[in-house]
Structure 1
Amino acid sequence: MTASAKRLLVAVNPSASFGRHRDVGAATTTRLLAAGHDVAMLQEANFELLRREAEHAFAGGVDGLVVVGGDGMVSLAVNIVAGTGVPFGVVPAGTGNDLARGLGLPHDDPAAGLDALMASLDREPRVIDAGVIRREASAPVWFAGIVSAGFDALVNERANRMTRPKGPSRYTLALVRELATFTPRRYVMTIDGVRREQRAMLVSVANNSSLGGGMTLVPHADLSDGLLDVFIVHPLSRAGLVAVFPKVFKGEHTGHPRVEFLRARHVSLEASDVVAYADGERVGALPVEIEVVPGALRVFA
């Protein structure tokens, strides 16, 4: 290897974006090898096996982890590298690619995303924050993007059960179907030590600005400000929620009278019949404790 060459672990999700970009993993490995890097590629039959194999290979020592796929693969990477000082990179080849959006990377063109990764490998990695979620009797879960714990989480849960349509429109269809039966939940929140009890349609805790393939929940979110953004939608009629959501996709909801934003370092959420998702991956039922860890991630970006 040359002086600038790195030992890189490449983890590939072959079913990302419903298999539309199956060749991106091989193309990534080929480009990295041609550039003189020492590369080990992992591509397993399912996500859980891939996660275990990636953890094992990472423990053997690498200079960086590259994931090929969507935000589920970002979640895999973040939960391996957070706090270690080892950087990770992403070649966006999934459905949503929201962390790539937040980082200003190409998010809808895997070839351009690979070009961006190659250009970043000789530069100092970018340092960003991460969040960590703690639940009783469960291992901590790290996230780079957004924790959903309300209507948005139920939509995510429904979308993950759907096989069609393929692409971001699946999330929109799940949203419409979930609206038919949704009612506000009663939450107990403690935000930087301040307790509040209230009903809400949606509660999200954000490090990044968007989820669901560009649904801009928190337009002003900053990946490296050392803070999380709490987004609350107060009770609305179904018609009112239907009217708000098109604005959310464009980030034009911030002035709505039933929308509230708060900034915090530590958030606890309690509610019945509510499941939390982080970076699009299921975490589990509330209650949860969520905390920002400034500078916990280094990214090839």
Structure 2
Amino acid sequence: MTRSPKRVIVAVNPSASFGRHRDVGSIAVARLIEAGHEVVLLQEANFELLRRETEHAFARGTDALLVVGGDGMVSLAVNIVAGTGVPFGVVAAGTGNDLARGLGLPFEDPLAGIEVLLEALEREPRTIDAGVVRRGDSAPVWFAGIVSAGFDALVNERANRMTRPRGPSRYTIALVRELATFRPRSYTITIDGVRREQKAMLVSVANGSSIGGGMKLVPHADLSDGRLDVFIVHPISRARLIAVFPKVFRGEHTDHPAVEFVSAHRVSLDASDVAAYADGERVGVLPIEVEVVPGALRVFV
């Protein structure tokens, strides 16, 4: 039995991966129309305008929301569809593509990603969890992957400001540069009601497993287990941190004595002068509260 959506919104980020895949959106739309789908294509001059126009189109009704780009576009989709029951799909054409990695989708070949998506549209979408971040009076922010609130967030912030190189190695270079001045931060962390005060190099709250183009912060993370994983790196020297990070890319850091994982449903984080990022998008400075919402997302895989 086929389950092809009749009406599909396709939101395209033409500047994803610094414009290296500008033609992917038009190819995806052509293939969708060829397969018999009714397509509403959205391409705007900037990300904020694209987000707003996608929200308006979604409010008029659709069978699915498809995004072409990187994890920024995933964030756009997740924040529109979470909790609505409307499925989304992603053609990974960005720099990191971490959700695509976690879902087993092509993350280095956008054209292959289009073909996989066309096949996936014929099947029942997969149901996965989402996390939601609340910060003061700000609107809640949904995420599918990881919330960063430490050294990893600073690396992300620096990488976002860089224009070169144009691939995942940007994160590695940003990491090395950030190490030069980084010091452990003092955190107040409350995990399912249990409060702790401690210093840490890095605190992340994960629904997915990787960040920064394949850095496997939480290699055992499960998108569908109804839990979050808190990843904490306790204070260590810069030299030891440099030694640990190559292992993170391979997911071989989990037994390091400075590394701690805690399973959770709800997490509160506070620290001075630390900003949080959710799926690579800036949320704002701490404090924040993070909670898992089981089964909040349906995604084509």
Which 5+ residue runs of structure 2 have no aligned equivalent? Answer: none
Q: Which residue of 2 aligns with 1:137?
A: 137
Query: How many Å apart are 1:137 and its aligned residue?
Result: 1.5
Q: Which residue of 1 aligns with 2:290?
A: 290
Q: Which residue of 2 aligns with 1:126?
A: 126
Distance between the aligned counterparts of 1:139 and 1:123, measured in 2?
33
Distance between the aligned counterparts of 2:19 and 2:185, measured in 1?
36
Query: How many Å apart are 1:26 and its aligned residue?
Result: 0.3
Letter in 1 for 2:38: D
Distance between the aligned counterparts of 2:166 and 2:22, measured in 1?
15
Query: How many Å apart are 1:4 and its aligned residue?
Result: 4.0
Greater than 3 Å deviation, 4+ residue runs? 2-5
- Report if the CA contact (8 A) 1:5-1:36 is conserved: no
Percent identical: 80
Give the structure-1-normalised TM-score: 0.99
Deviation track 1:252-296 (CA, whole Å, cap 9, x = no partner) reads 000000000010000000000100001011110000000000000
Query: How many Å apart are 1:3 and its aligned residue?
Result: 8.2
- CA-based RMSD: 0.9
Distance between the aligned counterparts of 2:92 and 2:224, measured in 1?
21
Letter in 2 for 1:190: T
Q: Which residue of 1 aligns with 2:271?
A: 271
Give the structure-2-normalised TM-score: 0.99
Q: Which residue of 2 aligns with 1:205?
A: 205
Note the 1:193-232 alignment, pairs <5 A: 193-232=193-232
2:45 match: secondary structure: coil
Letter in 1 for 2:248: V
2:55 match: secondary structure: helix
Query: How many Å apart are 1:149 and its aligned residue?
Result: 0.2
Which 5+ residue runs of structure 1 have no aligned equivalent? Answer: none
Number of aligned positions between the proteins: 300
Query: CA 1:3 to 1:165, structure 2 compared with 1: closer, same or farther past 3 Å?
Result: closer
Deviation track 1:90-129 (CA, whole Å, cap 9, x = no partner) reads 0000001000000011111001111110000010000000
Q: Which residue of 2 aligns with 1:248?
A: 248
- Is it true that 1:8 corresponds to 2:8 in the alignment? yes
1:57 match: secondary structure: helix
Query: How many Å apart are 1:217 and its aligned residue?
Result: 0.2
Query: How many Å apart are 1:5 and its aligned residue?
Result: 4.5
Q: Which residue of 1 aligns with 2:29?
A: 29
Letter in 2 for 1:102: G
- Report if the CA contact (8 A) 1:267-1:290 is conserved: yes
- Is it true that 1:20 corresponds to 2:20 in the alignment? yes
Q: Which residue of 1 aligns with 2:71?
A: 71
